[in-house]
Amino acid sequence: MARLLGIDIGTSGTKTVLFNEAGVPLASHTIEYPLCQPQNGWAEQDPHDWWMAVLQTIQAVLTKSGVKPEEVKAVGLSGQMHGLVMLDAQGHVLRSAILWCDGRTQKQCDEITGLLGDALISVTANPALPGFTAGKILWVREHEPQIYEKCRHILLPKDYIRYKLTGEFATEVSDASGMNLLDVTNRRWSGEVLSKLDIDPGLLGKMYESCQVTGVLTPAASEATGLLPGTPVVGGAGDNAAAAIGTGVVETGKAFTTLGTSGVIFAHSDRVTIDPKGRVHTFCSAVPGAWTVMSCTLAAGLSLQWFRSQFCGAEEGLAAAQGRDVYDLMTDVAQKSPIGANRLLYLPYLMGERSPLLDSDARGAFVGLSNIHTKGDMIRAVMEGVAYSQRQCLDVFREMGVDVADMAVCGGGGRSPFWRQILADLYGCPVKTIASEQGPALGAAILAGVGAGVYETVAQGCQVAVQAGPTQRPDPEDAAAYEPYYQLYRTVYPALKDIYHTLAGL
């Protein structure tokens, strides 16, 4: 049986997992590295740390599993999106990578918006956001011209690892979609955008589909990793696009929700659909000839985590004493409150909001607090509010003609059957879990398997390697009971908007 390696170069660490053909993890190893914040709002990492973590995790999974190097048929890469890596003519790193969560480039993004005009959304399919890569390139050109002058190669984080493994300067369509430089409809670098931004196309990597072989392991990389020279390395995908493969979201009608710190909905679409208002992102899918629409809310699980750390000291103590998860105890209390949390609404904008509001000044709120309310009502209101915010994103997808009939849920919040049921009732479609928790690493390994000919197509690979867990169906009565609360929730932000902006200016 073939073995496939999935490497996920995340922000907190690199996780490498060795799978068999059926998607069963044989060994997994994670190595963490620091995030450097040289100034408030900046976020950088040393690409050398990623490479060291990749080497050590590959060696560790080979040792732990006892799998022989010749059994590993291909390597797939996944990773944090948007990060800017700059190399000189010798392939040496010129400066620390500027990461997706770095906020220094608002001025450059405004410039890009002005320079590109309508082409920004119609070609790159997304607004110019400080997280995206183009603004970072312009920032280096403006603030560190001596570095920009020496720069010969611009790569995304996982594509730097590809270069170290294969010597190739290459990328693939899903990750490249997050740079504001790709013609997302035609899946190639946009000559128009590059020329308007005065960026030399020669700096960018060769473009591949996510399941194509982009190169093979060099003798030096073989020596360093313990894998065989000549082992193919496929395109792979940005972390969310890889998670989509790892959760089987590869056909129209399928989507996943991540209730992690932030909340993401990621839906598959077999045609390109772009929201002219830029409320959600459109990216190339890791499935050839398909696209994905993605929303991102900033404080999903974070809302419950905030409530827990501020108000649930007693539950934390009890959980420790009983050896239980504090979130499970909080959910027990919330379940005693009825739908609508006794007429209490919660707005989850603790960090401002991205989808679908695009307002960094928005803030959280409890609306309707009364003397009768208990902690259980408040926890339920938080869980419902987060679910309302996800439903509001899904409504934008549906407005764009991207229908969703089958939803998988991942992330920490997805462990809660109670929260999943609220989502099912609000989405109006079945909500399921995925048996494997390996998301992006599994997705990268499946793409590797397609490149190596182990699977015929991405969809066939998912059929073999992705197993669903329990499914929850919407309850029509409960769904109807939530609806008036959700409709009211939608009206609260517009009513508070001016207050938020005044508050931010005080």
Helix (H) or strand (E) holding 238: strand 237-238
Options 40-48, 67-75, 280-288, 409-417: segment touching ligand ADP (CB under 6 A): 409-417
Asked if 269 interacts with ligand ADP (CB under 6 A), we say no
Site string for ligand ADP, 29-58 (x = CB under 6 A): ------------------------------
Q: How far is the CB of 58 from ligand ADP (least distance, A)?
A: 23
Q: How far is the CB of 422 from ligand ADP (least distance, A)?
A: 11
Q: How far is the CB of 262 from ligand ADP (least distance, A)?
A: 6
C-alpha radius of gyration, the chain, whole number: 23
Which lies closer to ligand ADP via its Cβ, residue 223 or residue 325? Answer: 325
Looking at residues 228 to 267 of the shown chain, list those that interact with ligand ADP (rule: CB under 6 A).
Answer: 260-261
Which lies closer to ligand ADP via its Cβ, residue 164 or residue 420? Answer: 420
Looking at residues 293 to 322 of the shown chain, list those that interact with ligand ADP (rule: CB under 6 A).
Answer: 301-302, 304-305
Q: How far is the CB of 352 from ligand ADP (least distance, A)?
A: 17
Q: How many residues bind ligand ADP (CB under 6 A)?
A: 16
Which lies closer to ligand ADP via its Cβ, residue 8 or residue 159? Answer: 8
Q: What's the rounded Cα separation, in Å, for the pair 324 and 319? A: 5
Q: What's the rounded Cα separation, in Å, for the pair 316 and 338? A: 24
Asked if 411 interacts with ligand ADP (CB under 6 A), we say yes
- Whether 239 sits among the annotated catalytic residues: the reply is yes
Asked if 208 interacts with ligand ADP (CB under 6 A), we say no
Burial class of residue 38, CB neighbours in 10 A (0-12, 13-18, 19+): exposed
Residue type, 360: S
Q: Dig out the tokens for 156 from the structure.
A: 């995304």
Angle at 484 between CA 335 and CA 265, to 5 degrees: 70
Sign of the Cα pseudo-torsion (114, 271, 400, 350, in order): negative
Residue 149 CA, chain-centre distance (Å), reads: 32
Among 49, 239, 377, 406, which one carries the catalytic annotation? 239
Q: What's the rounded Cα separation, in Å, for the pair 249 and 266? A: 8
Asked if 325 interacts with ligand ADP (CB under 6 A), we say yes
Which lies closer to ligand ADP via its Cβ, residue 232 or residue 411? Answer: 411
Q: Is the peptide bond before 356 cis (omega within 30 degrees of 0)?
A: yes
Q: Which of 80, 133, 214, 416 binds ligand ADP (CB under 6 A)?
A: 416
**Residue 418 DSSP symbol:** H
Asked if 292 interacts with ligand ADP (CB under 6 A), we say no
Q: What's the rounded Cα separation, in Å, for the pair 118 and 476? A: 43
For residue 424, the SS3 value is: helix
Q: How far is the CB of 264 from ligand ADP (least distance, A)?
A: 9
DSSP string, 257-321: EEESSSEEEEEEESS----TT-SSEEEE-SSTT-EEEEEEES-SHHHHHHHHHHH-HHHHHHHHH
Options 141-149, 271-279, 327-335, 461-469: segment touching ligand ADP (CB under 6 A): 327-335
Q: Which of 50, 148, 419, 489 binds ligand ADP (CB under 6 A)?
A: 419
Q: Which of 46, 111, 328, 437 binds ligand ADP (CB under 6 A)?
A: 328
Which lies closer to ligand ADP via its Cβ, residue 53 or residue 224? Answer: 53
Cα–Cα distances in angstroms (integers) from residue 134 to residues 99, 141, 199, 493, in the given order: 12, 11, 9, 31
Q: Which residues are catalytic?
A: 239
Sites of contact with ligand ADP (CB under 6 A): 260-261, 301-302, 304-305, 325, 327-328, 331, 411-413, 415-416, 419
